[in-house]
Structures are given as C-alpha cells and as structure tokens.
C-alpha cells in the first residue's frame, strides 16, 4: 500500500475522503466529481492512497490544498483542476498551476472583486507587474502567465469570464539565449577523470543520445536493446512524446562495463546505492563532482549541457537538422534550429573568408 504525507493532513479525520472538500460553492449545473478510491488517515498519522496512480495522488493533493482557499471562483478552480486530471496532465503540473492561479486570484480579491465575471484585462496586467516587481525571471513570469491564461480560457468556455479578457493576449518577449554546449576539449577533460563504471556509463549515454537526465533516470532495463543499440523512451520528460535514441560505440562500451557489475535485480538501469532508482539531485551531484575533479567547475556547466553538446556535435558533423529533431524529441523544428545558431559552419567559413580579404586590403 502506497503511503504519502499530505499538506494539512491533520485536517483529515479517520476515513474522511478528500473529494468531500471544496464543493460548497459549485453551481448545480457542474458535473459530479470524479470518483476515486477512498483516502483515509491511519493511526500512524500517515495519509493512505490505496491503489492510486501518481496522477490521482496529485489531483487529491490539489483538492486538499484548494479546500483552504477563500478566493473568488474557488469552485471553478476545482473544476479546472479536475479537467486537468481528465486530460492526463503530469502530476507536477498541478502545483505550478495552483500556485499561479492562487496568486492571480489573490490580486483579483485585493482589487475588491468577488466574482470571476468581474475579471478584466487590467487584472492580468496587474498580475504581470506584480510578478516582475518581485524580481521573477521573464521565463518564470511567462510560465505563470500561461497557467493563468489556461484557467481563464477554461472559465471563458464555461461562459464565466468575458471573451474580451483574452481577446488579445499579452505576450512577454523572452530573450533567445543560445544553448550552452561544452567545449570539445572540456568534454575530453571531463571524460578522462571518470573512473567509476556506473558514472561513466551514465554520462556517456547522456552525451551520446541527447536524453534528458529525467528520461535516463526513468529508463528501465527492458527499455535498453543492446542488440539493436538503442533505448526506447516511451514518454518524453518535457513534452510526453515517445522516441528512440541510439547508442554510439563508446556509449555501448561504457554501458557494457556497467551492466557486468550492476545488480540485475534492480528494475531501473541506473540506481543509487541502497535504493531502487536514482534521484535528479544525486545524478547532478555526481556530474558536479567530476567537474571539480576535471577543474571545470568554474565554467558553469550543468548536466543539461550534455544534451546541448550532443546536438551541436551532430550538426557540426553534418547531420541534417530535420533528422536531429526526432532524436532530440522536439515537437517543433524551430526549437531544434536554435542549435544551428551555434554550429553554422557555412556562416563561419564565409566570415573568415571575407575577413581575410578585408585584412589584406583587397576589399577597398
């Protein structure tokens, strides 16, 4: 039986279902709540989720947190959260959506409004300014604004919020930064100090497949196909798109060395000592430790830089960008094109050809 401590669990009496919370202000026309297995708090004080999926746990966590709100449109927020469950949103999405919607509605209440029908575009502008005044990065403000807009769109379809509110959406320009790839010499230096078979296999697979760290940590042994030299990713970490990635000779060699000594009873391909899997923080610390050992920590490389390095090296080697896109798991070719700004050899050659002419004084 799965166990999980829930925020405000002291408010849940023995055998009291969390689905009972937050339904008081829903109009009669709302559909009945999603029926899920009963949640109860045992004698130990722990909250029990019998036979719950991660999505169901996230939904009940959100409903429990929502129960303590005293904000406009609380019933509509609950129905929106339930719609997220029906549409199979990721568990982690519930927290970010609730936080953004809470702060937005808090501002609406501060403006003296008690109903969603009173919301105007000015409330969205005030929310953006508030986030910027708090020193939020533009990428964070955009993410939180997206959460608010998604909720308002849901309320608009329900006929609660005016269509004028989202008629011309406010778009925040995000700086188009270059992906951070590692210098080739730094890659060699990093690999030269990795002597642990498990660590070497993990870093080599990230470097040669372009997998996100979360995707690799979720990889199980049956996802690895040594004969075909590939790994199946059934659901992408970011956009939930499945894909196949391939293993180079050096990645295969590192993997085989690890497979010889790993515990074959473990389900996940990589795991930490004494556990069945490995957390992101553990994997990140392994990478940082080797950066220290290689004298590269001052360069600010992250684990994600291995993915950027994979993409830039393949483009430098002549791979066509439309072939790189599915390997990276990008839903849009425009995202993959960011790497072309790092690796445009034709542009680089044209620059130095023209500059040599200028330096010889032939262009005057």
Q: What is the CA radius of gyration of the chain?
A: 25
Alpha helices in the chain (DSSP H): 54-66, 74-86, 91-110, 121-133, 138-157, 184-192, 197-209, 213-217, 249-261, 280-294, 304-316, 321-328, 333-336, 340-343, 345-359
Note the pTM of the prediction, 2 decimals.
0.61
Strand 3-4 versus strand 47-48 pairing type: antiparallel
Range with lowest mean pLDDT among 26-35, 56-65, 263-272: 26-35
Say what the pLDDT of residue 184 is: 92
User: Which residue in the block uniquely carries the two structure tokens 């610390």?
Assistant: 285
pLDDT in tens, 173-225: 766 666 788 999 999 999 999 999 999 999 999 999 999 998 999 999 999 99
Whether the pLDDT of residue 230 is over 70: the answer is: yes
pLDDT at 22 over 90: no
**H or E segment and range at residue 4:** strand 3-4
Q: pLDDT at residue 346 above 90? A: no
pLDDT reading at 240 higher than 80: no
Q: How confident is the model at residue 82 (pLDDT cuts 50, 70, 90)?
A: very high
What is residue 19's predicted lDDT score, i.e. its pLDDT?
Answer: 35
Catalytic residues: 212, 238, 304, 307, 330, 339
Which pLDDT value is given to residue 14?
32
Averaged pLDDT for residues 65-75: 91
Q: What is the mean pLDDT of the chain?
A: 82
Residue-level pLDDT at 350: 78
Tell which wins on pLDDT, 167 or 79: 79
Report pLDDT for 36.
Answer: 47
Looking at residue 32, its pLDDT comes to 45
Least confident among 46-60, 158-172, 200-214, 244-258: 46-60
pLDDT in tens, 264-318: 999 999 999 889 999 988 999 999 999 999 999 999 999 999 999 999 889 888 8
- Does the pLDDT of residue 39 top 60, yes or no? no
Quick one: pLDDT at residue 170? Answer: 77
- Over 90: is that where the pLDDT of 48 sits? no
Residue-wise pLDDT for 91-141, tens only, equals 888 889 999 999 999 999 999 999 999 999 999 999 998 888 888 888 889
> With pLDDT > 90 as the criterion, what percentage of the chain qualifies?
48
Going along the chain from its start, the domains and CATH numbers come out as 3-166 (no CATH), 184-348 (1.10.443.10)
Which of 106, 105, 107, 39 minimizes the C-alpha distance to 76? 105
Distance of alpha carbon 19 from alpha carbon 357, whole angstroms = 74
Distance CA 326, CA 332 (A): 9
């Amino acid at each position: 039986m799965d166990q999980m401590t829930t925020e405000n669990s002291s408010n849940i009496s023995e055998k009291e279902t969390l689905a009972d919370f937050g339904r008081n202000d829903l109009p009669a026309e709302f559909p009945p709540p999603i029926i899920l297995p009963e949640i109860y708090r045992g004698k130990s004080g722990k909250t029990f989720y019998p036979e719950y999926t991660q999505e169901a746990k996230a939904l009940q966590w959100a409903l429990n947190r929502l129960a303590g709100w005293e904000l406009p449109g609380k019933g509509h927020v609950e129905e929106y959260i339930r719609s997220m469950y029906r549409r199979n949103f990721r568990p982690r999405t519930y927290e970010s959506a609730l936080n953004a919607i809470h702060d937005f509605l808090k501002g609406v209440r501060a403006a003296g409004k008690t109903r969603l029908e009173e919301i105007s575009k000015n409330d969205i502008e005030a929310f953006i300014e508030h986030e910027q005044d708090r020193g939020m990065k533009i990428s964070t403000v955009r993410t939180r604004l997206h959460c608010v807009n998604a909720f308002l769109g849901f309320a608009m379809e329900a006929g609660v919020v005016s269509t004028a509110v989202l008629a011309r959406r406010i778009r925040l320009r995000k700086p188009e930064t270059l992906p951070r790839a590692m210098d080739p010499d730094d890659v060699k230096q990093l690999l030269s100090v990795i002597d642990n078979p498990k660590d070497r296999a993990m870093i080599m697979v990230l470097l040669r497949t372009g997998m996100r760290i979360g995707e690799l940590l979720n990889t199980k042994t049956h996802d690895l196909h040594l004969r075909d030299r590939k790994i199946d990713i059934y659901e992408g970490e970011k956009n939930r798109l499945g894909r196949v990635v391939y293993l180079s000779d050096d990645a295969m060699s590192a993997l085989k060395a690890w497979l010889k000594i790993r515990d074959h009873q473990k389900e996940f391909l990589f795991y930490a000592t004494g556990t069945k899997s490995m957390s992101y923080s553990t994997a990140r610390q392994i990478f940082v430790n080797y950066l220290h050992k290689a004298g590269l920590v001052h360069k600010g490389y992250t684990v994600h830089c291995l993915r950027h390095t994979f993409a830039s090296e393949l483009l430098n080697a002549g791979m066509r960008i439309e072939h790189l896109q599915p390997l990276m798991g990008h839903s849009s070719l425009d995202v993959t094109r960011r790497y072309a700004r790092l690796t445009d050899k034709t542009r680089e050659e044209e620059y130095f050809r023209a500059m040599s002419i200028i330096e010889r004084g032939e262009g005057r």
